[in-house]
Amino acid sequence: MKKLFTPIVCLFVFYSVKAQTPDCTTNLFPANLATDVNPVPSITLKWKPVQGALSYNIYLSAKTPPMQIIGSSLSDTFNFLTPDYGNTYYWYVVPVGANGAAIGCGANTTSFKTMAPPPPPANDNCSGATDITSGVLTDSTIGATQSQPATLCGSYVGSADDDVWYQFTAKSTGSVLLNLTSTGDFDGVLEVFSGSCGSLSSITCSDATQNGGAEQITLNAVQGTNYKVRVYSFGSALGNRGSFSLSAVSTSLPVSLVNFKGQRVGNDNVLSWTTATELNNKGFEVQSSFNGSDFKPLSFVASKANNGNSSSVLNYQFTDSKATNANEYYRLMQTDKDGHSSYSNVVLIKGGGINTLTLNSIYPNPAKNNLNVILTSPENKAITLVITDITGKTVRKQNFALNGGGNNLDVDITKLPSGSYFMKAICSNGCQTAVSKFVKE
């Protein structure tokens, strides 16, 4: 009995293991050797469900045999998100059960070929830009190709492999509102240029939202000037391409800003701007940033117009004497007397380079609650800000991680008693800045 019992147990275990290891499956869609499969926005792969499978590993490649798992699925379908036009793809699926994966499923490999790319649209390049002065236009980036690289917009650089072009000529000097409204999950980037094709100058761009969001630009247009507009999807996959609506509408904003520009003069950054008309204008808050997206108030310039109203050209200038040797971005926030506000385009003034850790400025000074501390650093590094009173006693320490370039640090001094204080920055390797003085009110 003992000699018979042992083989029976082994045979039972063998069948138990086999029962928990699923068989291979059969690919259903796309059908084997299918052609002209549309890769946009993606391809849904489908196979025959297998008893005992808890999940499925999908192998797919443009080479045969496919050796790479591109993903897993708990059901009998999988979305292939990154196909391209005019490619042949080979794929098979491996069911996975409680006791492991099916074996030998590569023998069930099938293939399909995606369709050839559609012809590019007429406005695929700047020279074929579509006019958008007549109203809202509905369009798509499908089939488009890249005409020039993507632009740093805010803190992001997308992929302009599907940019399409538009143009309009300003009928009057004033504000033009550009609206890009996405269809579905299209993540669009909106950019405006001046100049002619072949010698374009980027004025401003908008990439403030993600999938399905809207982008908006208020352009201070000059009568008779032709502007080019570019739209592209942020992502690089074919599935990122999509449809949208675009319009350029003249608006009656209280202030018509003709230009806003800046230049480096000695150790200062000098900003200048011109308004053609002003209505109920309180003035302009000058804002600065070291990364082009995180802006902080720098100063306020009151309107030159009598009671905020003017129909004549007015010129403004502001000198940033706190400028550093880092690249700095500037913009204006125009504010009405009723509290409404709008933003100008962003101006970049390039610095001359940074060699040492420097505490450039502290403002406001005197201050009640918070200090803006401007530090420049030649590289990424950790520092400690040390605040001492007039006796030399340390009253506060705070650690920060600096980026190479300019840094605007927010320091809370609410709990410090009123009086005079000194501040310096010390880095981890012992370097330190000169001492700066500030007053707590």
User: Same domain, yes or no, for 246 and 274?
Assistant: no
Give mean pLDDT, residues 39-65.
95
SS3 (DSSP) at 256: strand
Could you say which of 349, 380, 403 is where a domain stops?
349
User: Same domain, yes or no, for 179 and 228?
Assistant: yes
Residue 5 has pLDDT above 50, yes or no: no
Q: Is residue 120, in this structure, part of any structural domain at all?
A: no
Q: Is residue 224, in this structure, part of any structural domain at all?
A: yes
Give mean pLDDT, residues 133-137.
86
Q: Is residue 78, in this structure, part of any structural domain at all?
A: yes
User: Same domain, yes or no, for 181 and 85?
Assistant: no
Give mean pLDDT, residues 119-139.
93
Q: What DSSP letter does each residue of 162-217 carry, written as one string?
A: T-EEEEEE-SSSEEEEEEEEESTT--EEEEEEES-TTS-EEEEEE----TT-EEEE
User: Same domain, yes or no, for 24 and 60?
Assistant: yes
* Angstrom distance (rounded) from CA 373 to CA 362: 5
* Angstrom distance (rounded) from CA 137 to CA 145: 20
Residue 140 has pLDDT above 50, yes or no: yes
* Angstrom distance (rounded) from CA 62 to CA 112: 10
* Angstrom distance (rounded) from CA 148 to CA 93: 40
User: Same domain, yes or no, for 183 and 246?
Assistant: yes
How much is the CA Rg of the chain, to the nearest whole Å? Answer: 31
What CATH number should be reported for the domain holding residue 147? Answer: 2.60.120.380
- Give the containing element (helix H, strand E) for 3: helix 2-20
* Angstrom distance (rounded) from CA 238 to CA 118: 12
User: Same domain, yes or no, for 164 and 231?
Assistant: yes
> Amino acid identity of 279?
L
Q: Higher model confidence: residue 401 or residue 6?
A: 401
- pTM, two decimals, is 0.52
User: Same domain, yes or no, for 100 and 23?
Assistant: yes
C-alpha separations of 35 from 32, 111, 233, 238 in Å: 9, 9, 27, 18
Averaged confidence pLDDT in the chain: 89
Asked if residue 416 lies in contact with residue 381, where contact means CB atoms within 8 angstroms, the answer is no
b/e sequence 57-84, b meaning 16+ C-beta within 10 Å? bbbbeeeeebeeebeeeeebebebbebe
pLDDT in tens, 268-287: 999 999 998 888 899 999 99
Please enumerate in sequence order all residues whose Cβ is within 8 A of that of 56, keeping only pairs 6 or more positions apart, or say none. 25, 47, 72, 73, 74, 76, 78, 93, 94, 95, 96
User: Same domain, yes or no, for 299 and 246?
Assistant: no
User: Same domain, yes or no, for 322 and 430?
Assistant: no
User: Same domain, yes or no, for 159 and 221?
Assistant: yes
pLDDT in tens, 394-405: 999 999 988 888
Domain range for 263 is: 255-349
Q: Is residue 119, in this structure, part of any structural domain at all?
A: no
Residue 9 has pLDDT above 70, yes or no: no
Q: How many domains is the chain partitioned into structurally?
A: 4
What CATH number should be reported for the domain holding residue 42? Answer: 2.60.40.10
**Structure token pair of residue 63:** 């080479």
* Angstrom distance (rounded) from CA 227 to CA 142: 23
User: Same domain, yes or no, for 345 and 435?
Assistant: no
* Burial category of 89 from C-beta neighbours within 10 Å (exposed 0-12, middle 13-18, buried 19 and up): buried
Residue 353 has pLDDT above 80, yes or no: no
User: Same domain, yes or no, for 241 and 339?
Assistant: no
C-alpha separations of 89 from 47, 83, 115 in Å: 16, 9, 12
Give mean pLDDT, residues 45-70.
95
* Angstrom distance (rounded) from CA 195 to CA 211: 30
> Amino acid identity of 165?
W
